[in-house]
Chains A and B, each alone.
Chain A
Amino acid sequence: MTSDSGPAIETVDLKKSFASTRAVDGLDLNVPRGAVYGLLGPNGCGKTTTIRLLSTLIRPDSGAARVLGHDVVTEADTVRSRISLTGQSTTVDEELTGGENLVLAGLLRGLRRGAARERAEQLLDAFDLAEAANRLLRTYSGGERRRIDIAASIVVTPDLLFLDEPTTGLDPRSRSRVWDIIRVMVDTGTTVLLTTQYLEEADRLARNIAFLDRGRVVARGTPKQIREAAGNATLRLGLHDPRRRGEAEDLLRRDFGARTSWDPETGRLSVSISEAGLAAEAVTRLSQQGVEVSDFAADRPSLDEAFLAMTGYRATTAEREEEEAIR
């Protein structure tokens, strides 16, 4: 079958507008099979609209999108039978128990009642939710809810799973659990399209990453390429005398090969350096030169900083578009 070779997702000049906002504006994507593909970007960059287009919830205004070799408009039903969606907001029923949600998902995927029950039990065990099986979903914690949501998506193992910000709002423990689940899924042959606002998440899971801004891909690369561009660590510096900023930036660029940028919101200088160990040295050197540092912190590069490193400009944030897309 031709649909079983070739990329998992392929879009050409895909466009979708809501009223006057262009949520997706000429998107070209090529997602290979059998790995996690990360879509990164700030709120309003078009991540959710992209997922909604690819999972056949909305139709593109123009351009083409093929999912597993099938057109999302003309072969929507074929696409639907091979994908699964875990949306940003909970896609399971609040007024049903966890077990009932999974049985319902199984029935709707064509399982008979007995088979749907067995499958639900198997998944509840695998997702460590056996004890929560008979509780109504509205009593679930954020992490449990996410897990049941993902479980409902794989009642019948999909070829392609859409995960729209699966760990937003989760505590670190639940987050790492979801990551583990995603890894096992990819091991068993499922392709995952993951959207996230966390650089770390894409870094840990994805084989390829695309940065989205204003509805199009503005940069792409492997996690390694992004780390190389953005630096391994970011040093955030406050200066006693902000007027000496220029002097500080010159020194850091010259002696440490660092890329620097001024964040007007926090009034701090962001310095990306290749090794975290150099951070202390940089601070010492600055004071030796008489540029006094009022405070500093070493951190991983943020999404914004990686974005800046990859594209050369700051990402735009427009929450309105995304909200419109969700409606």
Chain B
Amino acid sequence: MSAPVTPLSDTERSALHRALVSSERPRRSGPVAASLAFAWRALLKIKHVPDQLSDAIIFPVMFTLLFTYLFGGAMSGSPAEYLQYFLPGVVVLAVALTSMYTGITLNQDMHKGTFDRFRSLPIWRPSVLVGSMLGDVVRYAVASTVPLLLGLLLGFRPEGGLVGVLLALLFIQFFTFSLAWIWTLFGVMMRTPTAVQGATFPLQFLLVFGSNILVDPDTMPSWLGFVVSANPVSHATTVVRGLMHGSLTPGELLGGFVACGVLILLFAPLTMFFYNRKQR
């Protein structure tokens, strides 16, 4: 009580007074505005803590080099030929692997006081999740562009041309947004980021490697080939491959969008269910 106390000066007090009185009460922000605000928040975090992008660069480079030169000869006779088959897939692989961070960062966020503030706001509930997923677009863009450029350097020649490649990158964004709902589900269900990582990693491994990214399912036993072909990652990879090489059939495109739709319809409501249950 004898501590030095410096009360507000009169100017400070009146500044504070003005600030409190002058505030207008705007109309509450709509779903789109709120989601965009959260996306902006995610982008700011990347700006202030850019280290989170390093994984999106290092892993894709590693995988591209490793698989092309280690497996290329054995799989397709030569690395150059394998690269033509494998590169569109490695782009999907790279992005799918980085998408896991969506769940981990969400989980970290949820256990901070920040989320309490968000949940006490009159906003569309899913906007927190949708917004942070939109912010991930930057990370996905980096993770997909890096292996693509490296592949071009190593001799990958997309027959679909620039338009095909750009459309493929666009599709990858949409697919990863769909896939990330699985990780957000883990993110809201689990208690710690480590638990999220522990749970998502094996599943992610299965989804990515149990697909047609590295190997053509025709070479597998029929039951396995069937399972691998049903994997949404396989459908997405087929679309990306088709777009990059200009050989996409309408059926394949439909398959890709159906895979995305199924992921969203299945996992987005589940995520929201568990997210809302946090308030009971």
Binding site for B on A (CB under 8 A): 52, 55-59, 77-78, 80-81, 83-85, 87-97, 100, 104-105, 107-112, 115, 119, 122-123, 125-128, 136, 152-157, 171-173, 176-177, 180-181, 184-185, 187-188, 190, 200, 300, 327
Contacts and interface: CB of A to CB of B under 8 A. Distances in A.
23 contacts: A55-B116, A57-B120, A59-B279, A81-B28, A85-B116, A90-B112, A96-B41, A96-B48, A100-B44, A104-B37, A108-B118, A108-B121, A126-B12, A152-B117, A155-B23, A156-B23, A157-B23, A172-B3, A173-B5, A184-B13, A184-B20, A188-B21, A200-B1
A90 B115 CA distance: 10
A56 B15 contact: no
A126 B19 contact: yes
B4 A56 contact: no
B20 A185 contact: yes
Contacts of B120: 55-57, 80, 83-85
Contacts of B44: 95-96, 100
Given A57-B119, A95-B45, A185-B20, A125 B15 contact: yes
Interface in B19-34: 19-29, 33-34
B4 A110 contact: no
Contacts of B162: none
Contact of A119 (B4, B23, B111): B23
A180 B19 contact: no
A99 B37 CA distance: 14
A84 B122 CA distance: 10
6 smallest beta-carbon distances between A and B, as pairs: A172-B3, A89-B113, A126-B19, A110-B26, A81-B122, A107-B37
Contact of B279 (A57, A111, A156): A57
Nearest to A54: B120
B5 A172 contact: yes
B12 to A, nearest CB: 7
Contact of A85 (B5, B15, B117): B117
Contacts of A78: 122
A132 to B, nearest CB: 15
Contacts of B116: 52, 55, 57, 85, 87, 91
Contacts of B22: 122
B18 to A, nearest CB: 7
